[in-house]
Structure 1
Amino acid sequence: MRYKLSIALAVALSVNTLCAANSTDLNKTNDAATTQNSTSPNDQTFASDANLAEVQVVSDLSKTEGTGSYTADRMNTATGLGLSIKETPQSVSVLSNQLIKDLNLKDVNSALQYAPGIAVRNDSGRLRINSRGFDVDNIQEDGIASSVSSSVQGPLGYSKEFTDLEFYDRVEVLRGAAGLTQSNGEPGGTVNLVRKRPTSEFAFNTSLNLGSWDNYRGTFDISNSLNESGSVRGRLIGVLSKNGTYKHYRNGWRGALGGIFEFDLTDKTLLTAGLIWQKTSEVYDIYGVPALDKDGNNLNLDRKSYFGANWNNSIYEKYNAFTEISHQFNDDYKAYAKLNYTKSDGIIKFGSMGGTNPYDPAAPSHDIRLQKYDNGSKEVNLKLGVDGKYELFGQKHDIFVNGSLSKEKFVEHDIRMPSISLASLGLGIYNWSSSAIAEPNWGGTNATLNKTFTKTIYQQALTAGTRYNFSDEWHMILGGRFARVKYDSFNENHKTGARSANTYITKSKFSPYAGLTWDFSKDHSWYVSYAEIFKPQSATDANKNVLEPVVGYNIETGVKSEFLGGALNTAVALFQIIQENRAITDPNNSNYSIAEGKVRSRGIDAEISGSITERWSVMAGYTFNKSIYLKSERKTSSNVDYNKGADAKKYIPRHMFKLYTSYEIPLVGTQKLSIGTGVRYQSKTSGIYMKDNMSSGSAIKYYVPEQKGYALWDANINYLINDNFSVGLIVKNITDKKYFYNTHNRTAGMNNFYGDPRSFTLSFNYKY
């Protein structure tokens, strides 16, 4: 470990020294407001060779909209302190507003495919986010955390989806345990979606996108002061899209509308309130396609292949209301209160082909699975806090205290009808007919399952900490979060009229946090940090006691640097996560569990983001990650290798490299041409199952599909005709690479999901 650390630090210092040697003073026109603040890392603002852009004072130092940058001044996701990337003793990234525009990103999942260190996998047609080998199961909006899925029984029970990216200024990413900002989660990391805010001056943006497979999207964004003094400001954002697909099923659509308002109650008190509505209709490809035949040969099906009914559909509707009030007592102390309410509903119905075994065209064993999910969730979150500064021993230090309460209630109505054999319909993968599958009577008495599952999660937490500055060079963050999590769940069987007893699970735990940074030169710092997070589990032992929570420990160390006054950031880190108390089958009683499972994730993160020169922006990251079982985990399933030392995350690539860079070319007058290109590479992956062991007791030899490493190339070109109008072209997967998404439960016969082919999007944008 020491040897690896020495190498990593040497590489980081070498890279940083090289950058420093080339970091001459740069001047660049900044299209957005820049900030005059002595504590901001962007004190050295860019100016053009001709004229210096007008400087505006803004209150949000972390805002990326209009800056043209691929980085941000400050982030709150890791500690809540509003530190710069270099000051934060954990691995953090930001997907800025400019990067989102350059790549024409519309939703959170597609955006995170470009985030360093983040792997995206397909889970029953829904994309899931994975960081350092662990799924991200909580996500934040403006610092308030909530569950990603709002599900009781898995991905098909989802009742909500992410809000459209048009409503956000940026996407902040933390890799590693988010123990200071949230509870009840996995230790891989979290994502914070930061909403756009109203502007004091009139601003109007609208766009029209025309893309492959009948993709059409229109947006508008208007903001201004609503009174003469400017003490009341508002912003209205709308989205309407037709979401086409390359597969053989009908297109989806989305509509979204939201407003956010700010009120200066006094010169020190700010009230913010907003409401967002969104409704989306999509056709999910639930089980994907079979990949291999009975002899282990690749079926090599067309990417357009879709083995579902023509009535398959899902509709999600979401209302999100939020408000915040903050008061600045003086230059040092501020208090705030945040309230967030979300109501989500999701209806999924499908008849889709599924089957674990390899597909045999002569005698297919697959069947049509008929299911309907009527899901709903309501959640309310309250957060109160005080941030401030105090002076001790000649230095100023930061202090923070906050408390949070939340309640999330998920209701999932699951109806499953008897499956239909392919043979009875005369269907196969080479003569598929979506219209041949009739929609069942979901209210019929022949349902094999008709249950409602209800789960309520209550969370209470108190967080406190300080950033103590020993000197101008040495800084330490010490803090912790005490959290209490309670689960209340039951189910109702509508076939029998029976209702289960309520299951109550209550667990409390203190999660400490510590981080140390050393600014060994003006622009370079070394750090080390430790963070924890826990997650209650429902499994019980032989004494019928609920097992202790799963606990994840994240420790990392690295070197971070800033160049050009914070316009360019670099970082390299070594990390280790250990997750213990994982529920495994009791070897003495298979009906119960013991909390003895243990997994270790190790790796290295390296990243560069921001502006290299006045016209050249870049975001790039490399991640190596290996997860293994530290203890053999006996499971009831015999087709997965849970032995000590086995790969615990075969469906997550060990190597990932992501790069996107753009260069701006000035033309005549205000005309500009921006050209960008990038690549996303990942190493090989497979499902969790072992070869020749899936069909135990069967004469069929079982094969496991694998996805070899691959690279996807993207590019964009944007022509700024004048200060108001621009036109752009975005090309994704330029080489038209054929590949499968990462999927944990891939088998030869199902759960293989093709990635998107090459696509083109033409964009027209107007701003005033």
Structure 2
Amino acid sequence: MAQASVTDTADGELELGPVKVEDRYQGEGVNSYTVRQTQSSTGLALSPRQTPQSVTTITRQQMEDRQIANIEQALEITPGITASKSEVGGRTAYRARGYAISNWKVDGLQFPGGTDFSGAGSSLNMDLYERIDILRGANGLLGGTGDPSATVNLIRKRPTETFGGSAYLTYGSWDKTRTGADLNLPLTEDGRLRSRFVVTQQEGNSFRDHQSDRARGALANFEFDLSDATTLGAGYQYEYNKVVGGGWGANIPIWYGDGSKTDLSRSTNLVPSWSYGEHETQTVFASLEHRFNEDWRLNVQAAQSTTDAVSHYGLAKVNQFSRGTYTGYPNQDGTGTVLNGIHMSTDTTQQSAQFDLSGAFEALGRRHEVMFGYNDSRTVGWSPQYDCTLSSTTLSRSTSGSCQFRANNGLPVSNWYNGVDDDMYLTATKTGLHSKTTTRLQGLYAATRLSITDPLSVILGVRTSDYSSKTIGNTGARTTQTESGVVTPYVGAVYDLSDNYSLYASYTDIFTPQSQETVSGSRVEPIVGKSYETGIKGEWFNGRLNAQLAYFRTQQDKKAVTDGANLTPTGAQAYVAGTGTETDGIDLEVAGALTPNWNVYGGYTYLHFRRLDSDGRSDPSHLFKLSTTYRMPAPLERLTMGAGVNAQSNIRALSSPAGQPSNGVSNSSTDVNWSGYAIWNAMAKYEISDKTDLSLNVNNLFDKTYYTRYGFYAGAIYGDPRNLAVTLRTTF
């Protein structure tokens, strides 16, 4: 788009003022399921076809079509990504290519986005973000940690120079309501100072007994053009999530105490009314962009995120009674279960900064691109120590220091058919002691895209990283881990077969520090390995439709695995460095517009384990996801219909460390079959006017019963039954 001003001169001639050109991609933004460029792989602005790795984008339009509110729902529709839950409303491991995702970013900066007891992932609110880039495979060049699974990079909503906004109201199954408003407000007439404000709130119940949730989010983002070449940005972001009725562990027992299978309803949830998990994240951020000329620019970014997390969980479940012995299985007469409990809180602050200088240069008669950068992240986590009491009117159990109640010190439930006894409570009091962990990751990196010939380009990159971690325990004991000068190379090549097709290949090293502790309290040594990928990519309709077929192979060594029943000095599960995992497979993906009215997004992944050393497999061999929307032709042009499916094959999993019991006791793990499933969804949207539309979304259309976890401490977690949501949205 071009904008210009026209004025009358003194002699009556017309004078054309400065022309401002904005490159707005026709397929990006409104009604788009793909993007023109992404920097999430190498730091260079490349189209999906010119990026020598598998890169996926969840656009704003996709999030609105599917009514996506949080990171779990976003990754649920992402090709190649699976989720494995440890409990309801608590820890969720998102996985790709056989490995857990641990590399999270916002606007390219490291972010504590893990969905666990202390991470900020549980509070991530998608109303505050414009899109999500997911890079599958290792990304050691920019992140420093070569996570072999994927890197998730969330892109915030930014202000623009024109006034506008939107608002919506959603009501759905189990009395779920969600409201949101998004306002883009120029603060000066010419738009040089501009702002964007987003607010959102959600409340609702669940298909599970005693469960409800609440979420809030807010964003204030400002930008100021100091000159035609320099832009300054700053903002504040707030995200909050609370789940009442979540538990500590999988909430459905797989076996009765006699070893026979259970068949409990999806609403079963053996938690007390006081069980909850709560996450609150506040972020301040700033940026500076300077354009030296058409080719060279400098980007500087900084952010600080503070996450307060509280876990106050109770659940009647199976757990360790003594070393290697597990009890707490339900009996069919209502006896057998034991209320477990845990209380912990964390205060995590992460400070991140990044400097990038990128541009183009001429050499040997050809134009090339180059990027230099430095990033630094520092994370400080505080965990207070608690004295806790789990009590009823007749019994009382206490712990000092480690506030965890298992099968050996929990409270027996009178009759689990009636739920947890109403008189059972967990109280926690701070002792005044705390532990502190300080982690720092910094590195220098550079990459260049060399145009060797017209069809061939080569990307070369290298990073050198320094990592340090220091923990001071409650007793004052100190443990440290330091890795200096770790070199991570990156090599990629793209060969254009035609205007529409390209062959590509890439290689990078893997280096990932680990936070798990050994029996001595020291950290498990870092993961190392290698990641390879090659394939073919296609691009049609001026980039509005992209597709790829990839073969990948990843070797990961020294991944932490549980050290039997051994514990750390603080009483947590101990780990050792395993022999590692090696996987390979195929990724197939398509995203974009087949016609101006027909969008499609989906993919298929085949995963093969060449070598496996872990605590139980959580990945299907076959994973298929597909979503599509179609705007009907006249006279029904105001109606858009959509459908989709998420399907995965069965998983030969492991119920670990507790397995199938005999006489109410288990002493080892048990192989289990995590059944495959296909979950269908549908949507319809009708434009009441040019500014307002009404949509209906149906998830799990055929009400399939399936599990989002199967075989964790002899427990399972049901997926959502069929649910509906109606949304009224308007723009202005």
Shorter-normalised TM range: 0.7 to 0.9
Secondary structure (helix, strand or coil) at the match of 1:717 reads strand
Partner Cα distance (2:24, 2:577) in 1: 45
Q: 1:452 to 1:546 in 2, by over 3 A?
A: closer
1:469 to 448, 451, 455: 451
Q: 1:62 to 1:377 in 2, by over 3 A?
A: farther
Partner Cα distance (2:411, 2:350) in 1: 45
Partner Cα distance (1:586, 1:249) in 2: 35
Q: 1:695 to 1:34 in 2, by over 3 A?
A: farther
- The answer for the alignment partner of 1:684 in structure 2 is 650
Q: Structure 2 matches for 1:700-739, cutoff 5 A? A: 704-739=671-706
- The answer for the alignment partner of 1:44 in structure 2 is none
Q: 1:434 to 1:658 in 2, by over 3 A?
A: farther
Partner Cα distance (1:733, 1:560) in 2: 32
Secondary structure (helix, strand or coil) at the match of 1:181 reads helix
Structure 2: which 5+ residue stretches go unaligned? 4-19, 320-326, 390-396, 398-404, 569-573
Partner Cα distance (2:515, 2:617) in 1: 26
Secondary structure (helix, strand or coil) at the match of 2:272 reads coil
Q: 1:570 to 1:664 in 2, by over 3 A?
A: same
More strand by share: 2
Q: 1:300 to 1:140 in 2, by over 3 A?
A: same
Partner Cα distance (1:542, 1:409) in 2: 23
Q: Structure 2 matches for 1:639-718, cutoff 5 A? A: 650-667=617-634, 672-689=638-655, 704-718=671-685
Structure 1: which 5+ residue stretches go unaligned? 1-32, 36-55, 493-497, 634-641, 643-647
Aligned partners of 2:698 and 2:725 also within 8 Å: yes
Partner Cα distance (1:597, 1:384) in 2: 37
> CA-atom RMSD, angstroms?
3.2
Q: CA deviation at 1:691?
A: 11
- % identical equivalent positions: 27
- The answer for the alignment partner of 2:604 in structure 1 is 622
2:127 to 145, 160, 166: 166
Partner Cα distance (1:75, 1:420) in 2: 47
Q: 1:429 to 1:699 in 2, by over 3 A?
A: closer
Q: 1:586 to 1:712 in 2, by over 3 A?
A: closer
Aligned partners of 1:62 and 1:74 also within 8 Å: no
Q: CA deviation at 1:389?
A: 0.3
Aligned partners of 1:120 and 1:129 also within 8 Å: yes
Q: 1:138 to 1:683 in 2, by over 3 A?
A: same
Is 2:422 the partner of 1:440?
A: no
- The answer for the alignment partner of 2:436 in structure 1 is 454
- The answer for the alignment partner of 2:370 in structure 1 is 399
Q: CA deviation at 1:711?
A: 0.2
Partner Cα distance (1:101, 1:80) in 2: 28
Secondary structure (helix, strand or coil) at the match of 1:198 reads coil
1:134 to 94, 99, 112: 99
Q: CA deviation at 1:731?
A: 0.2
Q: Structure 2 matches for 1:30-429, cutoff 5 A? A: 58=22, 64-66=28-30, 68-125=31-88, 126-149=91-114, 155-158=116-119, 161-184=122-145, 186-283=147-244, 284-287=246-249, 288-356=251-319, 358-362=329-333, 364-413=335-384, 415=386, 417=389, 418=397, 419=405, 426-429=413-416
Q: C-alpha offsets along residues 725-751 of structure 1, whole Å, 9 cap, x if unaligned?
A: 1000000000111111035x5243x3x
Q: 1:706 to 1:586 in 2, by over 3 A?
A: closer
- The answer for the alignment partner of 1:12 in structure 2 is none
- The answer for the alignment partner of 1:762 in structure 2 is 726
Partner Cα distance (1:276, 1:677) in 2: 33
Q: 1:464 to 1:738 in 2, by over 3 A?
A: same
Q: 1:266 to 1:352 in 2, by over 3 A?
A: same
Secondary structure (helix, strand or coil) at the match of 2:35 reads coil
Q: CA deviation at 1:297?
A: 3.7
- The answer for the alignment partner of 2:8 in structure 1 is none
Aligned partners of 2:581 and 2:609 also within 8 Å: yes
Partner Cα distance (2:523, 2:674) in 1: 39
Partner Cα distance (2:517, 2:307) in 1: 31
Q: CA deviation at 1:444?
A: 8.9
Secondary structure (helix, strand or coil) at the match of 1:456 reads strand
Partner Cα distance (2:435, 2:238) in 1: 26
Partner Cα distance (2:2, 2:254) in 1: 52
Secondary structure (helix, strand or coil) at the match of 1:71 reads coil
Q: C-alpha offsets along residues 689-723 of structure 1, whole Å, 9 cap, x if unaligned?
A: 47997769987697554321100000100001111
Q: C-alpha offsets along residues 165-214 of structure 1, whole Å, 9 cap, x if unaligned?
A: 01111111111001111023531111110111112111120000001001
Q: CA deviation at 1:308?
A: 0.9
Q: CA deviation at 1:372?
A: 1.1
Partner Cα distance (1:80, 1:344) in 2: 27
- The answer for the alignment partner of 2:460 in structure 1 is 478
Paired amino acid for 1:318: T
Paired amino acid for 2:247: D
Secondary structure (helix, strand or coil) at the match of 1:161 reads helix
Q: C-alpha offsets along residues 457-491 of structure 1, whole Å, 9 cap, x if unaligned?
A: 11111010100011110000000111111001121
Aligned partners of 1:683 and 1:708 also within 8 Å: yes
Q: Tell which deviates more after alignment, 374-383 or 354-363.
A: 354-363
Aligned partners of 2:629 and 2:641 also within 8 Å: yes
Q: Tell which deviates more after alignment, 200-209 or 660-669.
A: 660-669
Q: 1:442 to 1:339 in 2, by over 3 A?
A: same
Secondary structure (helix, strand or coil) at the match of 1:74 reads coil
Q: Tell which deviates more after alignment, 171-180 or 658-667.
A: 658-667
Partner Cα distance (1:268, 1:62) in 2: 25
Aligned partners of 1:707 and 1:739 also within 8 Å: no
Aligned partners of 1:481 and 1:512 also within 8 Å: yes
Is 2:490 the partner of 1:513?
A: yes
Q: C-alpha offsets along residues 545-601 of structure 1, whole Å, 9 cap, x if unaligned?
A: 9775311311011000011111111100000000123457999x9999986713101
Q: C-alpha offsets along residues 513-553 of structure 1, whole Å, 9 cap, x if unaligned?
A: 00011001111000110012312347899999977531131
Q: TM-score, normalised by structure 2?
A: 0.86
Aligned partners of 2:210 and 2:269 also within 8 Å: yes
Q: CA deviation at 1:147?
A: 3.1
Partner Cα distance (1:217, 1:722) in 2: 22
Aligned partners of 2:660 and 2:666 also within 8 Å: no
Q: 1:383 to 1:214 in 2, by over 3 A?
A: same
Q: CA deviation at 1:60?
A: 6.8
Q: 1:348 to 1:80 in 2, by over 3 A?
A: same
Q: CA deviation at 1:298?
A: 3.1
Paired amino acid for 1:292: W
Partner Cα distance (1:504, 1:694) in 2: 39
Partner Cα distance (2:519, 2:285) in 1: 45
Q: C-alpha offsets along residues 69-98 of structure 1, whole Å, 9 cap, x if unaligned?
A: 111111111111111110000011111111
Q: Structure 2 matches for 1:433-582, cutoff 5 A? A: 433=420, 435-437=422-424, 439-443=425-429, 452-492=434-474, 498-537=475-514, 549-582=526-559
Secondary structure (helix, strand or coil) at the match of 1:201 reads coil
Q: CA deviation at 1:423?
A: 11
How many residues were matched structurally? 682
Paired amino acid for 2:673: E
Q: CA deviation at 1:667?
A: 4.4
Q: TM-score, normalised by structure 1?
A: 0.83
Q: Tell which deviates more after alignment, 141-150 or 692-701.
A: 692-701
Q: 1:712 to 1:411 in 2, by over 3 A?
A: same
Q: 1:697 to 1:207 in 2, by over 3 A?
A: closer
Q: 1:582 to 1:565 in 2, by over 3 A?
A: same
Partner Cα distance (1:311, 1:332) in 2: 58
Secondary structure (helix, strand or coil) at the match of 2:550 reads strand
Q: Tell which deviates more after alignment, 177-186 or 373-382.
A: 177-186
Q: C-alpha offsets along residues 6-51 of structure 1, whole Å, 9 cap, x if unaligned?
A: xxxxxxxxxxxxxxxxxxxxxxxxxxx899xxxxxxxxxxxxxxxx
